[in-house]
Structure 1
Amino acid sequence: MHSDQSLLPNMPIFGIIGALPESYAGVISATLRRFSAFSEMTDRSFTILTKSKTTRPAAIESLLHSQNRLDPRITVRNVWTDLQSWSDAKLRSLLPVEESSFDEKASLAEEDVQLARGELKFDERSRKDAKGRILQTTRYRPEGTIAFTDRLDTQQQGRLGGRRLTIFDRQENALYSWSSATGLYHAWLDSYTGGNDSLLINDSSEFGAVISSYRRDNVTTIQVLHSDYPERIGHRELSAGKFTTLTRLDWFDLIAVLTETQIADLRTRGIVRQKGNNIASAPNIVDTPVITELGDRSANRGIYVGRLAKEKRVDHAIQATSNARNSGTAVNLDIYGGGPLFAELNSLVDDLGATEAVRFHGHVNEARNKFLDASFSILSSRSESFALVVVESMARGCIPIAYDIAFGPATIITHGVDGFLVPPGDVNELANTISHVATLEEAQLAAMRRAAITRAQDFSATSATRQWGDLLHHAVEGKRGASTKESVSATISSAHWRDPSTLTITGDFTASHDGQPEDLLLSWIGRNSESYGRVSPKDTDSGSSQKFEFDIPIDRMGLRIGDACDIHLDCLVDSHPVRTRLKVDNSSLPKQSDNFRPYSTRYGNFTISMEENPVCAPDDSLHP
């Protein structure tokens, strides 16, 4: 804790999430709990910014306040409702990245004009083409005037192509236009920070692609990584936004993760730099009520709380419960949560003949309090970054049984003392552990429950908020300037295959001004796949000689036939991240090795593709 200054930096601190529905869990729950703890411990007000068009901030804020799910000092705002509700003077204060001379008013459909005149009443209207694809979305103010349009047919009306977002005043005058949502989002954020020193904590990995390019001298940006997204790279499980965020982690002032083991993993993968201090850890803040009485609990009652999604492997928990019953232990499992796999999991319960033992309750607000009545909880996920639900279980005296997956459970649970760890994916051992817990003597169970409650206090609001305070101070102290004037050029002079899947390249790099590029990394980014990784240069004196040599492990790219990766040089210049495409002439490159083909695009940039037939060069005109 900083004894000579406030617990948190003395500046406005904003939280960012994508959507805020009435029912939520996971990232949203962790974000709201953190900011509520900030308010409780500092008696300060904070603002949560949202971007989803489905969020109605006033209604959800009122609901969460009334249900004590959000501290009353916290307000919720949304970009799209702001554009609907702000005064014309406030709208004119937005400073766009680009201003359009396009006559947006002239392009409005007659129905839009009728709506604006009050002849028709809708909050939002979409215009679609013959195939049902949205060409334009128009949103209106309560009095019927047009607030903004989002057109996706700017190149030729009626055909998909181009984008133009336009905001209007109440006299139907187009004020500003942007050719991407990013520019609009940045102007919106500027309206909140107002040129003052501010902190943005972005918990949305989807929105990180936007925040990564939001560089202001007065704003410190922090990206929180909640899930084990790096583990999913190459498996084609990430959205475009989340993938872009992972490829731009250098761009944030600080990356916040939940455990030290995540930091080590990200550095090992090369996703964050081995050197540097732009990554730190602080745990999720957990509601840890003071439990003095353990209560009467049936030793054989288990509970699962979480989404019914593929990565949670709820089928393992169900199968293990069924196996334990088949071995003679009369255990039950209550499942709280909703998700896309409900029907599939319900069918599994029917197939196992376990309908009396496994019960689905759907999403329940404050489901964590159900741990008070259960003897043990099950975490069967494929991956977790912190396993918040484990701490919530322990805080209520419910003994966690968790797969010993990376990052989360083992950093919380002491096996056999306050919970149990099971080899990941081992359903039989999970069943055995369930049976073991259900048949322990009451005195043993009571001792473990008390140990679990004690351990959970290490993640209480008081303890975790102090850690977050240290992290935020660290971010502000390490804040970089908004940008650098430096650009870097890098050219490959020679390349050869060291083995069939390792390409060795050498070359030179130079900076445009006086800065000296440091901490070089070679990165690859998939064009049409989630391929991303970075490697350090070979042991040379490239830092002083402005030469580089890299071994490119192409087998790590996870390419399939038709995939391609563009190759970049990443470096720091005056502490600022710079990424540049590697230049190369085809005469400097070797021929194809197996299916891997290195080549120079028509713009002279270095790319590696996986080819079925090497004779046909790809059309790379869209990938300079």
Structure 2
Amino acid sequence: MKPTMFFLINSIDILRGGLTRASLKQASFFAEMGYETYMLTFNFNPKYPIIRDKLLEMNKVHKNVTILNMYEELEGYDEPLTLTIPSKKASLTELSNGMSIDKRHKRNAYRVYNNGLYVKYISLNEDNSLDFIDYFDENRYRTKREVYDPWGNLKKVAFMNLLLNKPNQLIYYDNEGRAYFSQWNDPESEIIQRVNIFNKNSSITHTYANDNVTHKLDWLTKTINKLGGERSVVISDTRSTDEVLIKLDHPKAAKVWRLHSSHLDSPFTVDANITPAVKPALDNLETFDAAVFLTEEQKNDVTKRLGEKSNLMVIPHYHEESTKTIKSNNEDNKLGVVISRLSSLKRLDHTINAFKYVVDEIPDARLEIWGTGNQESSLKKLIKELNLKENVYLKGYTHNPDEIYQKALFSVMTSKKEGFALSVLESMYNKAPVISYEIKYGPTDMIVDNENGYIIENENIEELANKMIYMFKNPDKSREMGEKSRNYIDKHFNKNIYKQKWLDVIDAAITTKFRS
């Protein structure tokens, strides 16, 4: 009998990067094979009914994957909330109580003034439903934030420390206005000091002091008891859920830990310190029935550091076979692309600086950068400073990376570190060969240098530019590399290999857990 699958992930949203996409694909894979499959989310987000609906509509998750949320269940819902009615458009007249309002530039938000005194800030969602309201005192200190669901129900209030502008206390409410959860924070360290859970009679049922794990563990245990059957497999996909998996000790649940990122801290070399987010799991590898890495290289590096472990296994990503036509000499010979989160870790400034050299030699060359992140403004500034506004474009988030790669001559990857570099896999599958820095981990598993792409010295911007110039000047060579890229992915990273490796991991974890 197939075990029930539980995937632990802190949060799921629509505009997300590679880790979330990989987790959704992974859960969908098991649902497709007939496993009862759940994704357990631990964050507060009143938009989950919309998120679930949108993910299904966009075919980002299998219809038989059930996405559960801890806060929804603590509020009292036995089933995941579904989208049954449209969101409610907010009334600015009602929210401002007739006071003066001033719209923020390029934001769906408004400042409210009472006879000249700034009293609150109203933020709306894209569909003009209410998102949150911030309240201010006469000294412009924020006193609290009210968070609403898309139907106008107050769901959370954060009471702020005036000087630090961070929450002292958070209270979560059901639709009748009853508190079901409260949290005390140290606003300076942001450490959680106390968690209280209330019943419908407003009586405290559980209290957790200086502990942000046990209430999550209790919910996970309750969920396994309710849905898990005789045998379950629990997989931690994000580092924020690792401590929950480490502490889980359920007689009917095997534990699998999966690492999606590099375990190395700066400078990201093999002997670098272990990054704090990954350290708890690596320090407790023996508590897992299986520990999964994305590349053999990373598994070997961990083994050299921590010693031989019998539970270490490798499952690389795969790319789903596409029913759409893969490009056939229809790509733009003057277009390179990047699909990436706009963060400092991705070093997109290297790509842009290299592209300045490209444009000096090929004035009509273009680079499209797809993604969102906190580096957007600095990257815009760099593009302007280098006079590349007619050559380099920040295009925003894309839900269709395959289409972006198919129109490009090649793609570029300049990250400081990766766990696997899903963008490399996707690009090569779509016949866009990749020019990548040699980093840990992933690119060298897929790119055979000078055959189906290029691996260049880390941080060598001049060489990066030279390779882009060569590709633009030799589009036939790029197309040849693109064909080899697709063939390589089809051979080494196909769904059948992925399926067998996962079945091996599940079998090994179940055997280890229940061998007695």
Identity %: 22
| Aligned equivalent of 1:359, options 379, 389, 393 | 393
Q: CA 1:278–1:299 in structure 2 vs 1: closer, same or farther (change >3 Å)?
A: same
Does 2:35 correspond to 1:44?
yes
Q: Per the alignment, in what secondary structure is the counterpart of residue 181 of structure 1? A: coil
Aligned to 1:181: 212
Q: 1:161 offset after TM fit, Å?
A: 9.3
In the alignment, is the contact (CA less than 8 A) between 1:139 and 1:147 conserved in 2? yes
In the alignment, is the contact (CA less than 8 A) between 1:324 and 1:330 conserved in 2? no
Distance 1:416 1:234 in 2: 25
User: Residue type matched to 1:167 in 2?
Assistant: I
Q: 1:240 offset after TM fit, Å?
A: 5.7
Distance 1:79 1:251 in 2: 24
* TM-score, length-scaled by structure 2: 0.78
| Aligned equivalent of 1:225, options 256, 259, 262 | 259
Q: CA 1:173–1:481 in structure 2 vs 1: closer, same or farther (change >3 Å)?
A: farther
Q: Per the alignment, in what secondary structure is the counterpart of residue 264 of structure 2? A: helix
In the alignment, is the contact (CA less than 8 A) between 1:288 and 1:392 conserved in 2? no
Q: Per the alignment, in what secondary structure is the counterpart of residue 382 of structure 2? A: helix
Give the RMSD, CA atoms, in angstroms. 2.8
Aligned to 1:277: 310
Q: CA 1:166–1:234 in structure 2 vs 1: closer, same or farther (change >3 Å)?
A: farther
Q: CA 1:122–1:407 in structure 2 vs 1: closer, same or farther (change >3 Å)?
A: closer
Distance 1:191 1:301 in 2: 52
Q: CA 1:162–1:17 in structure 2 vs 1: closer, same or farther (change >3 Å)?
A: closer
Aligned to 1:190: 221
Q: Per the alignment, in what secondary structure is the counterpart of residue 191 of structure 1? A: helix
Aligned to 1:455: 488
Distance 1:345 1:129 in 2: 33
1:375-394: CA deviation from partner (whole Å, max 9, x where unpaired): 10001111112111111011
Does 2:45 correspond to 1:54?
yes
Map 1:130-145 → 2, pairs under 5 A: 130-131=162-163, 132-145=165-178
In the alignment, is the contact (CA less than 8 A) between 1:209 and 1:248 conserved in 2? no
Q: Per the alignment, in what secondary structure is the counterpart of residue 123 of structure 1? A: strand
Q: CA 1:32–1:464 in structure 2 vs 1: closer, same or farther (change >3 Å)?
A: same
1:507-544: CA deviation from partner (whole Å, max 9, x where unpaired): xxxxxxxxxxxxxxxxxxxxxxxxxxxxxxxxxxxxxx
Map 1:170-319 → 2, pairs under 5 A: 170-179=200-209, 180-194=211-225, 196-232=230-266, 241-270=277-306, 274-289=307-322, 291=325, 293-319=327-353
Does 2:2 correspond to 1:10?
yes
Aligned to 2:135: none
Q: Per the alignment, in what secondary structure is the counterpart of residue 247 of structure 2? A: coil
| Aligned equivalent of 2:199, options 165, 169, 180 | 169
Map 1:93-108 → 2, pairs under 5 A: none
Q: 1:331 offset after TM fit, Å?
A: 2.2
Q: CA 1:415–1:239 in structure 2 vs 1: closer, same or farther (change >3 Å)?
A: closer
1:156-188: CA deviation from partner (whole Å, max 9, x where unpaired): xxxx99833222221222222222231111111
Q: 1:283 offset after TM fit, Å?
A: 0.8
In the alignment, is the contact (CA less than 8 A) between 1:20 and 1:50 conserved in 2? yes
Distance 2:414 2:303 in 1: 26
Q: Per the alignment, in what secondary structure is the counterpart of residue 505 of structure 2? A: helix
- The structure with the largest alpha-carbon Rg is 1
Map 1:391-430 → 2, pairs under 5 A: 391-430=425-464
Q: Per the alignment, in what secondary structure is the counterpart of residue 176 of structure 1? A: strand
1:345-401: CA deviation from partner (whole Å, max 9, x where unpaired): 111111111111101101122233210100100011111121111110111111111
Q: Per the alignment, in what secondary structure is the counterpart of residue 313 of structure 2? A: strand
Distance 1:229 1:451 in 2: 31
In the alignment, is the contact (CA less than 8 A) between 1:321 and 1:431 conserved in 2? yes
- How many corresponding residue pairs? 432
Q: 1:39 offset after TM fit, Å?
A: 2.2
Aligned to 1:368: 402
Aligned to 2:159: 127
Distance 2:173 2:273 in 1: 36
User: Residue type matched to 1:29 in 2?
Assistant: R
Q: Per the alignment, in what secondary structure is the counterpart of residue 180 of structure 2? A: strand
Q: CA 1:239–1:326 in structure 2 vs 1: closer, same or farther (change >3 Å)?
A: same
In the alignment, is the contact (CA less than 8 A) between 1:308 and 1:339 conserved in 2? yes
Deviates more, 1:336-345 or 1:123-132: 123-132
Q: Per the alignment, in what secondary structure is the counterpart of residue 213 of structure 2? A: helix
Q: CA 1:29–1:136 in structure 2 vs 1: closer, same or farther (change >3 Å)?
A: same
1:23-52: CA deviation from partner (whole Å, max 9, x where unpaired): 001211111111122222x13341111111
1:109-168: CA deviation from partner (whole Å, max 9, x where unpaired): xxxxxxxxxxx9621122344544433221111122221222348xxxxxx998332222
In the alignment, is the contact (CA less than 8 A) between 1:34 and 1:285 conserved in 2? no
Q: Per the alignment, in what secondary structure is the counterpart of residue 321 of structure 1? A: helix
Deviates more, 1:205-214 or 1:288-297: 288-297
Structure 2: stretches of 5+ with no match in the other structure? 79-151
1:176-209: CA deviation from partner (whole Å, max 9, x where unpaired): 2222231111111111211742111111112212
Distance 1:237 1:341 in 2: 25
Q: CA 1:449–1:234 in structure 2 vs 1: closer, same or farther (change >3 Å)?
A: closer
Structure 1: stretches of 5+ with no match in the other structure? 1-8, 88-119, 154-159, 483-624
Q: CA 1:19–1:389 in structure 2 vs 1: closer, same or farther (change >3 Å)?
A: same
Q: Per the alignment, in what secondary structure is the counterpart of residue 300 of structure 2? A: helix
Q: 1:68 offset after TM fit, Å?
A: 0.9
Q: 1:336 offset after TM fit, Å?
A: 0.1
Q: Post-superposition, which runs of at least 4 consecutive aligned residues in structure 1 deviate over 6 A? A: 233-239
User: Residue type matched to 1:20 in 2?
Assistant: I
Q: 1:325 offset after TM fit, Å?
A: 1.9
Q: CA 1:393–1:163 in structure 2 vs 1: closer, same or farther (change >3 Å)?
A: same
1:34-90: CA deviation from partner (whole Å, max 9, x where unpaired): 1122222x1334111111113643321111001111111111111111101336xxx
Distance 1:411 1:276 in 2: 22
